[in-house]
Copies of this chain bind each other. A is one copy, B any other.
Amino acid sequence: MAVTSLFDPSGIAVVGASETPGKIGYEAMRNAVEFDGPVYPVNPSASGTVFDREFVSSVTDIDDAVDLALLCVPAPVVPDVVEECGAAGIGGAVIFAGGFAEAGKEGKRLQRRLIEAATEGGVHLLGPNTSGFLLPSEKLYATFATDVEAIPAGNLVVVAQSGGLAYSLAFRAENEGVGVSAMVGLGNRANVGFQEAIEHFDADDRTDAILLHIEGTDHARGLLETCHATETPVVAYNVGEQDVGDFAESHTGALTGRYELYEAGFAQYGVPTVRSVQELLDAGKSLSSCPRPDGPNVGVVTAQAGPGIAITDRLKAAGAELPMLTDETRETVEEILPGMTYSANPVDTGRPMPEFGDVVAAVARDENVDIVMVYELYERALGYPTGTLEGLVDEVDKPIVFASGGPDAALQNELADLEALRIPVYRTPERGADAVAALVRYALRNAEPDVVAEKVSR
């Protein structure tokens, strides 16, 4: 089921548009007019203009090519409005109102009526009970949320059962030097769910990784198979390890309680899973910027033992292998730094030094290594080995991931220079290790099931 009219519209109708700040019909209108295309406020009981657009009484009165409607009307009238959308040839509708499947028997009945109207009119529904979606690069803000223009454009798509959680992630993106190609809150998933959204954004040129937030779904196998079939890497944040059943059901009408099943299923299908929005963002950053890893073998290079040990500990817990380096690599490393602190894997240079980049390059070129994980505290006098590492990622065609600490003001620019080389940088040892763990799990997607089961202990 293609959802183009929803996520790639030509024009927008805001049904229930309002002149009163604070009302959803006002906030949605304020966001909608940022879009570079026709935007119509629809309200039978209003006249004049709002945001310089003239009110129309009904979606059926619009002549222009409008294919997306934002429904800012109360739940009981939603099915009728969707019917009108169908009649007007509008193929996508975002339904903000709650009071459907998440709100008991009466709500479930209303949702069934809504789905019937949508099916009949050929309307793709986002929601109900959603805060909507946004595509920053298009300035398409199909939402009533505020401050959305602060969310940077980039190459990660966030498909979330909860819009609130997606925003919590998107506002962190700013801080981490990444951005989103789209952010979608699915809400009750009346007829557009994870599968439809994943398939749409898998085919989207701007999207290099797909981040999922899942509270529960009735179509577990379908979801897993969709994730496995994508060309674009997928990471999943699956909430509901503990029993949060009745609160969760009151949210988007979904049943939780299948946590272990999902975790096992995702591992099996090579979809990395994470346990927080920060980890979801961090995994997405590596998966979207690094070359795809060929295997789970990590070469660790560190300039400080303590963070190196913390990283090694965490990588092993996540099922990574730390292979022996080849004799050739060990000789090269010994030549670069005679009598070095620790020259197995991890390689520990003891402290940052001018030769540090050469050591990283030697490990990256090792045929036993699929992924390189580096830790280096920033020292102003040395900076990062950006010059030495230039071109290395393309040459070895392997992920190289940095973790680093240091004074914010000093390292901000140099960090951006490293990231321009397709080397993502994380600000604590463990965040770097978790991002590498996601690469390791992604690398296992083509492995035999028993290999996966053995490696993935978490």
Spell out A's residues near B (CB within 8 Å). Answer: 21-22, 98, 145-147, 150, 160-169, 171-172, 174-175, 213, 215, 239-244, 246-248, 250-252, 275-278, 303-310, 312-313, 316-317, 341-342, 344, 346, 348, 350, 377-381, 405-410, 427-431
Looking at the assembled complex, report how far the CB atom of A360 sits from the nearest CB atom of chain B, in whole angstroms. 17
Known A-B contacts A162-B309, A305-B162, A406-B171; the reply to A428 vs B244 at CB < 8 A is no
Is B242 within 8 A of A312, CB to CB? yes
| Complex Cα gap A217–B239 (Å) | 36
Contact of A247 among B166, B305, B377 (CB under 8 A): B305
Is A305 within 8 A of B164, CB to CB? yes
Is B309 within 8 A of A244, CB to CB? yes
Is B429 within 8 A of A277, CB to CB? yes
Contact of A381 among B146, B248, B341 (CB under 8 A): B146
| Complex Cα gap A171–B410 (Å) | 11
| Complex Cα gap A171–B412 (Å) | 13
| Complex Cα gap A167–B175 (Å) | 21
Closest B residue to A146 using CB positions: B379
Is B408 within 8 A of A175, CB to CB? yes
Looking at the assembled complex, report how far the CB atom of A326 sits from the nearest CB atom of chain B, in whole angstroms. 19
| Complex Cα gap A309–B381 (Å) | 46
Is A168 within 8 A of B240, CB to CB? no
Looking at the assembled complex, report how far the CB atom of A101 sits from the nearest CB atom of chain B, in whole angstroms. 14
CB-CB under 8 A from A344, the residues of chain B are 246-247
Known A-B contacts A306-B161, A307-B168, A309-B248; the reply to A277 vs B242 at CB < 8 A is no
| Complex Cα gap A106–B290 (Å) | 44
Looking at the assembled complex, report how far the CB atom of A323 sits from the nearest CB atom of chain B, in whole angstroms. 14
Is B162 within 8 A of A247, CB to CB? no
Is A306 within 8 A of B405, CB to CB? no
- The number of times this chain is found in the oligomer is 2
Is A306 within 8 A of B160, CB to CB? yes
The 3 closest A-B pairs by CB, nearest first: A162-B306, A164-B304, A150-B407
| Complex Cα gap A250–B349 (Å) | 12
Known A-B contacts A240-B309, A242-B317, A430-B277; the reply to A342 vs B165 at CB < 8 A is no
CB-CB under 8 A from A162, the residues of chain B are 304-307, 309
Is B310 within 8 A of A165, CB to CB? yes
| Complex Cα gap A14–B87 (Å) | 85
CB-CB under 8 A from A145, the residues of chain B are 377
CB-CB under 8 A from A313, the residues of chain B are 239-242, 244
Closest B residue to A129 using CB positions: B305
Quick one: which of A252, A308, A405, A410 has the most chain B CB within 10 A? A405
Is A309 within 8 A of B239, CB to CB? yes
Known A-B contacts A150-B409, A304-B162; the reply to A168 vs B428 at CB < 8 A is yes
Is B240 within 8 A of A410, CB to CB? no
Is B165 within 8 A of A251, CB to CB? no
Looking at the assembled complex, report how far the CB atom of A164 sits from the nearest CB atom of chain B, in whole angstroms. 3
Is A147 within 8 A of B405, CB to CB? no
Is B22 within 8 A of A381, CB to CB? yes
Contact of A215 among B215, B309, B407, B427 (CB under 8 A): B309
CB-CB under 8 A from A312, the residues of chain B are 242, 244, 247
| Complex Cα gap A381–B20 (Å) | 14
| Complex Cα gap A346–B165 (Å) | 16
CB-CB under 8 A from A165, the residues of chain B are 304, 306-307, 310, 429
| Complex Cα gap A243–B247 (Å) | 40
Closest B residue to A174 using CB positions: B408
| Complex Cα gap A435–B309 (Å) | 24
CB-CB under 8 A from A166, the residues of chain B are 306
Quick one: which of A145, A306, A346, A348 has the most chain B CB within 10 A? A306
Closest B residue to A240 using CB positions: B313
| Complex Cα gap A341–B316 (Å) | 43
Is B429 within 8 A of A306, CB to CB? no
CB-CB under 8 A from A277, the residues of chain B are 310, 428-430
Is A342 within 8 A of B247, CB to CB? yes
